[in-house]
């Protein structure tokens, strides 16, 4: 049954709404939301680390994977990429004539030797996660 509301000369008719019909769709909406958050994709160069309630559960391989929504948390780790960290300088442009910047990086290259002298050592570490 519609409601009639009068605003001066304006007569509005608001249709009635049956809230029982919405109650039927709530479980369907909840199932769709859970299904959406249940699947994730791990790329070919990554592995997925699954934490269940904050603790390590298992490692997943590339592809479409399943998780328990709101309980499992997935971190994607690049395992086929070689990472590089530079200490004491930064590479601006790599190539035949590589360009470096030493600006404000001098403190991270200082090392203490065995005879308690300070050595200025600029170095690079390269690593790969397996």
78-125 confidence digits (pLDDT tens): 888 888 888 888 888 787 777 878 788 778 888 899 999 998 888 889
Q: What is the pLDDT of residue 1?
A: 59
What 3-state DSSP class applies to 41?
A: strand
For residue 67, the tally of other CB atoms under 10 A from its CB is 19
**Is the pLDDT assigned to residue 22 strictly greater than 70?**
yes
More confident residue, 1 or 55: 55
**Which residues lie below 8 Å from residue 126, measured CB to CB, with a gap of 6+?**
82, 83, 84
**Is the pLDDT assigned to residue 2 strictly greater than 70?**
no
Q: ∠ CA 54-55-56 to the nearest 5 degrees?
A: 125
**Is the pLDDT assigned to residue 11 strictly greater than 70?**
yes
Per-residue DSSP letter, 106? S
**Is the pLDDT assigned to residue 15 strictly greater than 80?**
no
pTM value is 0.55
Q: What is the pLDDT of residue 50?
A: 95
Per-residue DSSP letter, 70? T
Q: What is the pLDDT of residue 107?
A: 80
Per-residue DSSP letter, 9? T
28-60 confidence digits (pLDDT tens): 888 999 899 999 999 998 999 999 999 999 999
Q: What is the pLDDT of residue 104?
A: 81
């Amino acid at each position: 049954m519609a409601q009639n509301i009068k605003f001066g000369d304006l007569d509005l008719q608001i249709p009635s709404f049956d809230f029982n019909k919405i109650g039927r769709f709530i479980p369907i909406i909840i199932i769709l939301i859970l299904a959406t958050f249940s699947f994730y994709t791990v790329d070919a160069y990554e592995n997925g680390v699954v934490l269940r309630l904050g603790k390590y559960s298992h490692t997943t391989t590339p592809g479409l994977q399943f998780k328990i929504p709101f309980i499992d948390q997935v971190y994607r780790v690049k395992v086929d990429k070689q990472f590089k960290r530079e200490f004491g300088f930064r590479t601006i442009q790599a190539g035949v004539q590589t360009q470096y910047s030493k600006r404000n990086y001098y403190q991270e290259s200082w090392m203490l030797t065995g005879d308690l002298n300070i050595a200025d050592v600029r170095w690079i570490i390269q690593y790969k996660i397996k």
